[in-house]
């Protein structure tokens, strides 16, 4: 690879270094196996052959299904760089327009920028003209040195290329963007092709030609560059050169077990061996003795099979349009048996004549210590493709059962045949629940597994409930202090399956009971109930009272224990059973479908009046889990329901419901003005009229819709028509009888 150097900073062109870097990446990729193309172990796809809209044949081909043109990625996203960033080789040929930088030091110190004129000369002050066009930079350096030494003595000098000339190159033929390109004088054929976007879909990568003055001066095969990193036809271009990219001669597809599946271009005389060389070769698991070629000949698909182990077949010429699939070697092995289940290393094992079950599984490390040896299943393949089960074991003569190829041996663990035994512990332990019963397990062991005792545990009397003979229960009382102080003693009872241990709490033991107050109070947070029947007013005092922004009318109290108390009463079923029965216009019986649903948690919100609590008019006894929320004073009123626009309106003192509904666009046609509800911030609900003016900040006005009874007009009409029709018919018959 020839290095390249100095071009004018304003000139931008395709970076040869980037192209060569992509070529190296392409070559590295070609050395890597192509397992990535075979997802989930699948290695083929079925391609239908459709004629006149009808599938007449299905051809199985190797993956990948989608292929790209080999080498096309080299010309994708080539970066543009400044020509001043590039190096230049000493053999660069100087021409008109090149700018040279001459530095002289010693007897004199000078620096000159010298431009090569139309005559191919540069002018050096005191030394005169020196012809440099057509010389390499190294040759020009020597010629300039001779000219300087004729004038100066005892000097040193350097001559470098400051900026290269611009050349005009024609890129024509099958490229993406044919045209005339201004390129740096350092450019080579691959730069010109890249500047034109690379070969098009129909373009050749193999037979690129360069004409100079109507004379063919170079032929470039990009595949040499892609696979070897060099190409003799990649010459340095001159102004006026014409780069011609002809159409391709042959395009073939190569799929399957090759290192680079792609669409490859071949030239006359190239064979399957040449194709595989360009792809980087086959992978280790490729079946080269049965290569499938889908070929179109005389308008029809024909199948061709190639065998690379045969020298003549390896020299077979590949034709344009061939689609070649190289499949993996057949994974099927006849002489194996398979071991699965409870075993350290499941999988396939080699089979030989006379191999027995005991011989296969008797090898060191084949079994776990707790492998169940009393039962081993052998699933044997029958001639009809089904499998039969053969019961064997590893402790009797059945261990000598002869194995056959393709047998599947299934092993089990002793735990697979053990019924899980359980015991339970509840009450004042850290982790109450059900636990596995182990041999020799005692009460002390169960307490340990449950995480130990809680501080309120009553040790003098722990109850153990046991099922006797499966038909009755009996209980015994255990002194847990004795158990814990003397593990294994008589009190530390040996547990049996389904035993239940209950650790009671000390009678009268009080647990901390917490309530929470949030929002606009001076000291919000959690508070412990300090005495029985402590009230809400006392909590207001303990939290320091309210802030200036507190909205007392909106104080809300949440009590989760309410839903716990009513949750088991099946209130929803009671509500559903009370739905009113209605008879429609045709006399059909139905029940109202708009009866509300019920969620017990909706009852947790208690409607209270904080002002009444503060004034001493009422009070509420606190319960553990209560949450009191004191909101900030709001400045708005919300209007929702059958109004033009659901929204929020700024609160104005003394304004009535009609004002706020008007601000929300007014009532809709189906609004029920007689059933308006006002929901206060504390949850209290009132039925109000449009003239109601005791509205507070934070209130929500709800305007419901009228309930419409639907009349089945079609059914009524049909019934009327039927009645009239029957009457007319009867009248006609009567008249006929007369």
Q: CB neighbours of 505 closer than 8 A, spacing ≥ 6?
A: 427, 428, 454, 456, 457, 458
Q: What is the pLDDT of residues 182-224, one digit of tens each?
A: 998 888 999 999 999 999 999 999 999 999 999 999 999 999 9
Q: What is the pLDDT of residues 360-372, one digit of tens each?
A: 999 888 999 999 9
Residue with tokens 């809300």: 556
Phi-psi region of 713 (alpha: psi -120 to 50; beta: other; left: phi over 0): alpha
Sign of the alpha-carbon dihedral angle for 486, 487, 489, 495: positive
Query: φ, ψ for residue 527 (rounded to 5)?
Result: -135, 135
Residue ranges per domain, the chain? 89-163, 336-417, 423-503, 636-703
**Does an H or E element contain 168, and which?**
strand 166-173
Q: What is the pLDDT of residues 390-423, one digit of tens each?
A: 999 999 999 999 999 999 999 999 988 888 899 9
Is 444 a residue whose pLDDT tops 50?
yes
Q: What is the pLDDT of residues 613-654, one digit of tens each?
A: 999 999 999 999 999 999 998 889 999 998 988 888 899 999
Contact 558, 606 (CB under 8 A): yes
Give 172: exposed, middle or buried? Use CB within 10 Å, 0-12, 13-18, 19+.
middle
In whole angstroms, give the CA distance from residue 97 to residue 101: 13
> Which tops the pLDDT comparison, 537 or 7?
537
CA distances (Å), origin 108, targets 154, 157, 264 = 9, 10, 62
At 351 the pLDDT is 92
In whole angstroms, give the CA distance from residue 344 to residue 367: 7
Encoding tokens for residue 660?
A: 């706020």
Superfamily for 336-417? Answer: Outer membrane lipoprotein wza domain like (3.10.560.10)
Residue 649, strand partner residues: 637
In whole angstroms, give the CA distance from residue 189 to residue 205: 12
Is 722 a residue whose pLDDT tops 70?
no
**Does an H or E element contain 476, and which?**
strand 472-478
In whole angstroms, give the CA distance from residue 106 to residue 39: 71
Sign of the alpha-carbon dihedral angle for 606, 609, 610, 614: negative
Phi-psi region of 452 (alpha: psi -120 to 50; beta: other; left: phi over 0): left
In whole angstroms, give the CA distance from residue 597 to residue 48: 58
In whole angstroms, give the CA distance from residue 676 to residue 701: 7
Is 586 a residue whose pLDDT tops 60?
no
636-703 CATH: 3.10.560.10
Q: Are strands 250-256 and 323-326 parallel, antiparallel or unpaired?
A: parallel
Is 733 a residue whose pLDDT tops 50?
no
Q: What percent of the chain has pLDDT over 90?
A: 47
Q: What is the pLDDT of residues 664-692, one digit of tens each?
A: 889 999 889 899 999 888 888 889 999 99
Give the closest residue to 246 by CA, choosing from 200, 188, 207: 207
At 33 the pLDDT is 41
Q: Is the peptide bond before 64 cis (omega within 30 degrees of 0)?
A: yes
pTM: 0.46
Query: φ, ψ for residue 44 (rounded to 5)?
Result: -150, 165
Looking at domain 89-163, its CATH class is alpha beta
Longest Cα–Cα distance of the chain, Å, equals 155
Q: Give the pLDDT band of residue 515 (cuts 50, 70, 90).
A: very high
Q: Are strands 128-131 and 121-124 parallel, antiparallel or unpaired?
A: antiparallel
In whole angstroms, give the CA distance from residue 603 to residue 697: 24
**Does an H or E element contain 647, and which?**
strand 647-650
At 447 the pLDDT is 94
Q: What is the mean pLDDT of residues 657-669?
A: 90
Is 488 a residue whose pLDDT tops 50?
yes
Secondary structure letter of residue 431 according to DSSP: S
Give 31: exposed, middle or buried? Use CB within 10 Å, 0-12, 13-18, 19+.
exposed
Rounded to a whole number of angstroms, the distance between the first and last alpha carbons of the chain is 122
Encoding tokens for residue 677?
A: 């509800």
Q: CB neighbours of 392 closer than 8 A, spacing ≥ 6?
A: 357, 375, 376, 377, 378, 398, 399, 401
Answer whether 336-417 and 423-503 agree in fold.
yes
Residue with tokens 């007319």: 728
In whole angstroms, give the CA distance from residue 558 to residue 519: 14
Report the chain's mean pLDDT, rounded to a whole number: 83
In whole angstroms, give the CA distance from residue 394 to residue 415: 17
Contact 375, 420 (CB under 8 A): no
> Which tops the pLDDT comparison, 732 or 278?
278
Residue with tokens 């530095």: 103
The beta strand positions in 272-403, using DSSP E, are 291-297, 300-306, 323-326, 336-341, 347-350, 371-381, 387-392
Long-range contacts, stretch 288-293, CB < 8 angstroms, 24+ apart: 288/326, 290/327, 291/324, 291/325, 291/326, 292/61, 292/62, 292/324, 292/325, 292/326, 292/327, 293/318, 293/322, 293/323, 293/324, 293/325
Q: What is the pLDDT of residues 95-131, one digit of tens each?
A: 888 889 999 998 788 899 999 999 999 999 988 999 9
Is 300 a residue whose pLDDT tops 70?
yes
In whole angstroms, give the CA distance from residue 308 to residue 318: 13
Contact 325, 305 (CB under 8 A): no
Q: Give the pLDDT band of residue 59 (cuts 50, 70, 90).
A: confident
Give the closest residue to 308 by CA, choosing from 279, 329, 287, 277: 287
In whole angstroms, give the CA distance from residue 665 to residue 85: 71
How is domain 423-503 classified at the CATH fold level? Answer: Outer membrane lipoprotein wza fold like (3.10.560)
Query: φ, ψ for residue 625 (rounded to 5)?
Result: 95, -10
Give the closest residue to 440 by CA, choosing from 454, 461, 421: 421
Encoding tokens for residue 104?
A: 């002289």
């Amino acid at each position: 690879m020839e290095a390249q150097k100095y071009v004018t900073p304003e000139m931008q062109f395709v970076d040869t270094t980037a192209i060569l870097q992509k070529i190296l990446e392409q070559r590295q990729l070609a050395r890597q196996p192509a397992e990535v193309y075979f997802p989930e172990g699948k290695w083929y796809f079925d391609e239908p052959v459709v004629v006149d809209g009808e599938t007449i044949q299905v051809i199985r081909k190797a993956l990948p299904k989608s292929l790209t043109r080999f080498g096309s990625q080299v010309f994708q996203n080539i970066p543009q760089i400044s020509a001043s960033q590039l190096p230049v080789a000493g053999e660069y040929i100087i021409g008109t327009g090149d700018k040279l930088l001459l530095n002289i030091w010693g007897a004199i110190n000078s620096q000159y920028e010298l431009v090569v004129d139309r005559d191919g000369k540069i002018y050096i002050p005191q030394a005169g003209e020196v012809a440099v066009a057509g010389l390499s930079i190294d040759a020009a350096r020597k010629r300039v040195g001779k000219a300087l030494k004729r004038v100066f003595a005892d000097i040193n000098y350097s001559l470098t290329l400051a900026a290269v000339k611009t050349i005009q190159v024609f890129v024509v033929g099958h490229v993406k963007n044919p045209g005339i390109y201004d390129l740096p004088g350092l450019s080579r054929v691959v730069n010109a092709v890249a500047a034109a976007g690379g070969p098009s879909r129909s373009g050749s990568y193999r037979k690129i030609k360069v004409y100079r003055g109507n004379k063919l001066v170079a032929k470039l095969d990009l595949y040499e560059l892609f696979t070897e990193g060099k190409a003799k036809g990649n010459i340095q271009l001159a102004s006026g050169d014409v780069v011609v990219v002809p159409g391709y001669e042959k395009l073939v597809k190569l799929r399957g077990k090759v290192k680079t599946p792609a669409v490859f271009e071949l030239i006359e005389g190239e064979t399957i061996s040449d194709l595989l060389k360009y792809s980087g070769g086959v992978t280790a698991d490729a079946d080269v003795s049965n290569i499938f070629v889908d070929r179109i000949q005389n308008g029809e698909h024909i199948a061709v099979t190639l065998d690379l182990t045969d020298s003549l077949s390896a020299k077979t010429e590949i034709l344009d349009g061939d689609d070649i699939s190289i499949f993996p070697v057949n994974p099927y092995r006849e002489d194996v048996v398979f071991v699965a289940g409870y075993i350290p290393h499941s999988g396939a094992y080699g089979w030989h004549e006379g191999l027995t079950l005991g011989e296969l599984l008797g090898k060191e490390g084949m079994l776990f210590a707790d492998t169940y040896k009393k039962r081993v299943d052998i699933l044997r393949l029958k001639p009809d493709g089904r499998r039969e089960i053969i019961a064997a074991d590893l402790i009797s003569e059945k261990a000598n059962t002869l194995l056959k190829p393709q047998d599947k041996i299934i092993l089990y663990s002793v735990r697979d045949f053990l019924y899980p035994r359980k015991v339970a512990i509840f009450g004042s332990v850290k982790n109450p629940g059900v636990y596995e019963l182990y041999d020799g397990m005692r009460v002390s062991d169960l307490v340990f597994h449950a995480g130990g005792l809680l501080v309120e545990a009553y040790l003098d009397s722990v109850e153990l409930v046991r099922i006797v003979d499966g038909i009755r229960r009996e209980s015994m009382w255990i002194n847990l202090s004795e158990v814990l102080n003397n593990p294994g003693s008589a009190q530390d009872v040996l547990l049996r399956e389904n035993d239940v241990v209950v650790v009671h709490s000390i009678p009268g033991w009080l647990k901390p009971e917490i309530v929470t107050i949030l929002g606009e109070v001076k000291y919000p947070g959690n508070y412990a109930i300090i005495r029985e029947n402590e009230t809400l007013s006392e909590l207001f005092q303990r939290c320091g009272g309210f802030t200036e922004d507190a909205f007392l009318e909106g104080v809300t109290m949440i009590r989760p224990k309410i839903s716990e108390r009513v949750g088991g009463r099946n209130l929803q079923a009671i509500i559903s059973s009370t739905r009113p029965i209605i008879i429609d216009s045709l006399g059909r019986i139905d029940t109202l479908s708009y009866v509300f649903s019920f969620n017990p948690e909706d009852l947790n919100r208690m409607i209270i009046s904080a002002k009444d609590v503060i004034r001493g008019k009422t009070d509420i006894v606190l319960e553990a889990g209560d949450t009191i929320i004191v909101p900030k004073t709001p400045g708005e009123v919300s209007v929702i329901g059958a109004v033009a626009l659901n929204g929020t309106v700024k609160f104005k003192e003394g304004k009535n419901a009609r004002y706020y509904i008007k601000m929300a666009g007014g009532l809709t046609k189906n609004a029920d003005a007689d059933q308006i509800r006002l929901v206060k911030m504390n949850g209290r609900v009132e039925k109000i009229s449009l003239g109601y003016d005791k509205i507070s900040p934070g209130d929500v006005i709800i305007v419901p819709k009228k309930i419409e009874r639907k009349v089945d007009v079609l059914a009524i009409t049909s019934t009327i028509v039927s009645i009239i029709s029957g009457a007319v018919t009867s009248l006609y018959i009567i008249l006929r009888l007369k």
